[in-house]
A and B are shown apart, each in its own frame.
Chain A
């Protein structure tokens, strides 16, 4: 909220505190100052002058010599402008002045005549008609005749004020009003607070000309006051009011509209002014009927079925609290105004505003919550200003409807209760005094403090709120650090899930893989780009209703999209090689559209680019699976993988596929061809604690190594054969492949496989015949099961 300091000073004397000091103090009571908007500093030494004499320059047709009174003296100025005449008030850049464009004013001689200064146009001062009339004119800015001679032009232009942009938290809608913020500041600075003028003269015309007011929906509109103002004179509002509105970001329109906006800022009460002549019969606050429509002030037509309306006996006049209808605003010929001040229920305004897609300053204010009190104060303040600015004659009759005023909230608490929450001791006198300063009535009944809360403070409904209001002014720096000495000891630990996940990450780190993070939402094109079948489970993505963009509009069912995009981004940046992993959540919907919360499953995705081959990814996967149990693979049918270089895993709570990325997928993601990925759902593997490894005795006997070379058909899976060999004897400690050879000396369609076998005796050394026996059974196994012949 914008808080011009001059406006604040109307209601509390802030002394000579600097804007920075005030901001710091506001922060200490919970109002963050987002910006201190200083007065303009790019114009210096420009004052209001009055042209007392103007004559033609002897040596020029176009130049004029003026005598200008600038308050302290009368100076001679030569000008080429043609719109200045005797008696005009004009901005004068005196000798030594600085202008926004960098001009520095020095004494000059123009065609022999001395000139001590320069008269300025609006553009030279960096202003236009929105600041002051005549400023957009190409010539000298002619100021109003009642301008103060010698006054600094920034003051005349209303640009000499400091404005604080204060952020108001959602619990303090009352402070969306300058008076209420002023009251907080008065407590803060310990200075008296002055209410704005709320009195005005009225005329009596009897009550028969007043429209009646009837609220049909009292839960949505709890209070409504209407006043009548006759003999309205629509004109420009005074400059000070226009300046203040402008500083707060509101465009001045005319005196009446400006007053309603002024009151919105000052009191926080939205008001609406209706032209009386368009009201047929009485005012009804009711919900719109099916098919009912209204054209609002923005010129657009809105369906208002079930929307709270201000209506007369025949038609809707306004969308309650949001915007007036086109025929009910103020026109230049308006003679009588019906002025509305009302309290509309905030959540209904919020809902309606979102439903029909229409927001206004008024609806924004109502959404935050307008308190009961502001309705009457706001109405009175507007009338006082109407009276002061002589906009019209105020009729003394008041029409209103509403529920009984709510009772003030009473909170019974004790000093002990408050201090027990805070953890520090504050004496009772201090507590009472701080609360009273904020307008809270406190009475002691024995130990009990009976606190009566003013209606404007709807945020206070229990003793912790009072504790907060005490601390705001007592000072949060008085809170000390204690270490829960009076609470229970508790046991802290990682869940099994988190501990396992951490171990997986540690393992991957030691395997040289870098952890990456990708968004949880992806493009809906991901399944197509991954070549997934029409019925693939990964296509069951959960869409977001209001995504930021299409690229991130559905919840991910796989991590490949993010992985491949990350690799592609790196490749585009000419980063050579990547070995990445992401351990993240995917979202599995049991049913779409979603009826209950989806499953959130933990997936490990590995991606390798220019950093190894199929066997690299296979060994990484093997290391990870090996943490949880035996390693076992089957053929993969994953659509996104190379059909000849892919395997499937489905063991001990791990399900997934890995291998070389399908060349078409590489094309879809703009990737080089040698990308290898693994995608493993490890959710179930993470649930059980990993077993602690156990020692098995080391043999004291020397192992025996024997090499073998066999010839098998090309199609034989060597891995399977080596696995089979391991089962031949419990004494086989290891079988190590060291060569696969095809070519010369080997028949077409065959390959030679050379491997070394390590035999490990346990208790006694092996005899030659024992070794031969084992080796023979190995040869027998390879020949019977794999058709191998000894080479």
Chain B
């Protein structure tokens, strides 16, 4: 065959190759370029030509070789692409179904809120202090300026283990333990379980508080408001306002109840805030001088403020949980709402 015929033949063969003919393509390449391929044969035949024809003939053979090699390569790529396309088309899935193969565990909403609050206070220089859940009367009451038989004891129905040992009714007991152990300046939060002999639609006998305590020179009631204002904005959003109402706790003086503006309606009144525009959030105040003195801190030198946040209440408000019992039922469907 002459060059023309070889070219025409090769082009025809290439044309005939179809998708699954990678092997045929390999054979064609061998036929053309292999050790005993036609082009190789022509190349070998050059030596028999007269010298003046050699350059011209050699160039023609070589040109054809380059051209055909290029075409083969193109064909190779095309075939490979077709093969992949075919594979892809065979891998059709029903994308509408699910086959979950791992589960994400849920952290209890109360823990989530507790972590968030902790994050805020730790970032503001508070340590986290753990205090016993079973306490003595001294730490839970007497050191907090509630002597035996004081009417303030009626504010909290107490579970007793014996006359002197009880289940703490407030995390405030942690204040005393901390002040006994460390010297001011002090900043701490004490989150944990508290217990009251109380069980109705709005109370659970076990619930959670987070006590806060700051003791230093020059601490003021305005500093308390600043600390709680920052906390309220962190939890409920930047536009949140807080307000103080006078109240009474034996271990603070002055004592205040703290309300936050309703995060849901921003004060115009809705179901969340019972149309008042405000949500009752926590109790706070300036640490009573007797409490400081009882812990060996000079009340003329140091002031302090303290607050007690109801974690369950904040969780319920934030997560729109309308029944405190849900917090303790551990229903999987409930838990999975808080992923």
Give A residues with C-beta under 8 Å from B.
27-30, 32, 169-173, 346-348, 350-351, 367-369, 420-424, 462, 464-465, 467-468, 471-472, 476-477, 479-484, 486-495, 497-498, 502, 505, 508-521, 542-548, 552, 555, 566, 569-570, 573, 575, 577-581, 585, 587, 593-594, 597-598, 600
Contacts and interface: CB of A to CB of B under 8 A. Distances in A.
Contacts of A555: 134, 161
A464 B223 contact: no
B223 A484 contact: yes
Interface stretch (B1-9, B65-73, B82-90, B152-160): B152-160
A514 B185 contact: no
Given A421-B286, A502-B115, A518-B328, A471 B254 contact: yes
A479 B305 CA distance: 14
* Residue picked from B105, B147, B150, B333, most chain A C-beta under 10 Å: B105
B199 interface: yes
Contact of A476 (B108, B132, B195, B256): B256
23 contacts: A30-B247, A170-B152, A347-B149, A420-B303, A467-B254, A479-B225, A480-B222, A480-B225, A481-B230, A482-B223, A483-B226, A487-B185, A490-B125, A490-B187, A492-B187, A495-B128, A505-B111, A514-B108, A519-B205, A520-B206, A566-B330, A569-B330, A594-B161
Interface stretch (B21-29, B31-39, B210-218): B210-218
A462 B145 CA distance: 14
B328 A517 contact: yes
B128 A498 contact: yes
A512 B102 contact: yes
A347 B303 CA distance: 30
Nearest to A515: B108
A481 B258 CA distance: 13
Contacts of B154: 170, 367
A594 B220 CA distance: 41
Interface string B44-57: 00000000000000
Given A468-B246, A547-B159, A555-B134, 12 more contacts: A350-B149, A421-B220, A423-B223, A467-B254, A484-B227, A495-B127, A514-B106, A517-B330, A519-B205, A594-B162, A597-B165, A598-B134
Nearest to A30: B246
Contacts of B161: 542-545, 555, 594
A577 B130 CA distance: 34
B76 interface: no
A519 B222 CA distance: 38
Given A350-B149, A471-B254, A570-B330, A462 B289 contact: yes
Given A462-B289, A552-B205, A27 B221 contact: no
Given A170-B154, A490-B185, A585-B133, A513 B216 contact: no
Interface of B: 102-108, 110-111, 115, 118, 121-130, 132-136, 147-152, 154-155, 159-162, 165, 167, 185-187, 193, 195, 197, 199, 205-206, 214, 216-223, 225-227, 229-230, 243-248, 250, 253-256, 286, 288-289, 303, 327-333, 335-336
Contacts of B219: 484, 487
Contacts of A482: 220, 222-223, 225-226
B107 A515 contact: yes
Contacts of B111: 505, 515
A520 B207 CA distance: 10
Contacts of B286: 421, 464
Contacts of A516: 108, 330, 335
A462 B185 CA distance: 23
B258 to A, nearest CB: 10
Contacts of A491: 125, 127
A750 B160 CA distance: 61
Contacts of B128: 493-495, 498
A492 B129 CA distance: 11
B220 A544 contact: no
B247 A487 contact: no
- Per CB-CB distance, the 7 closest pairs between chain A and chain B, nearest first, are A423-B220, A423-B222, A347-B149, A512-B103, A30-B246, A169-B248, A468-B254
Contacts of B121: 492
B132 A520 contact: no
Contact of A423 (B124, B221, B255): B221
B107 A420 contact: no
B330 A544 contact: no
A464 B331 contact: no
A509 B331 CA distance: 17
Contacts of A493: 122, 127-128
Given A476-B256, A502-B115, A505-B107, A580 B149 contact: no
Contacts of B149: 346-348, 350-351
B329 A569 contact: yes
A351 B147 CA distance: 13
Contacts of B165: 594, 597
A764 B332 CA distance: 54
Contacts of A547: 159
A487 B216 contact: yes
Most buried by B among A511, A543, A580, A597: A597
A483 B223 contact: yes
A465 B253 contact: yes
B222 A464 contact: no
Contacts of A424: 221-222
Nearest to A567: B330
A493 B178 CA distance: 15
A121 to B, nearest CB: 39
Contacts of A515: 105-108, 111, 335
A254 to B, nearest CB: 31
B312 to A, nearest CB: 10
B335 A514 contact: yes
Contacts of A594: 161-162, 165
A521 B133 CA distance: 12
A510 B103 CA distance: 8
Contact of A579 (B103, B223, B243, B333): B103
B160 A544 contact: yes
Contacts of B330: 516-518, 566, 569-570, 580
B280 to A, nearest CB: 10
Nearest to B135: A597
A719 B104 CA distance: 29
Nearest to A491: B125
A27 B245 contact: yes
A464 B205 CA distance: 33
Contact of B106 (A483, A486, A494, A509): A509
Given A350-B151, A421-B286, A513-B105, A487 B134 contact: no
Contacts of A509: 104-107
B245 A546 contact: no
A28 B245 contact: yes
Contacts of A347: 147-150
Given A482-B226, A492-B122, A505-B111, A170 B328 contact: no
Nearest to B193: A520
A578 B225 contact: no
Contacts of B327: 517
Given A422-B221, A546-B197, A484 B226 contact: yes
Nearest to B146: A170
A490 B219 CA distance: 14
A229 B97 CA distance: 93
A368 B286 CA distance: 24
A273 to B, nearest CB: 26
A347 B327 CA distance: 38
Given A347-B150, A495-B130, A593 B162 contact: yes
A776 B199 CA distance: 70
Given A480-B225, A509-B104, A464 B289 contact: yes
Contacts of A488: 185, 216
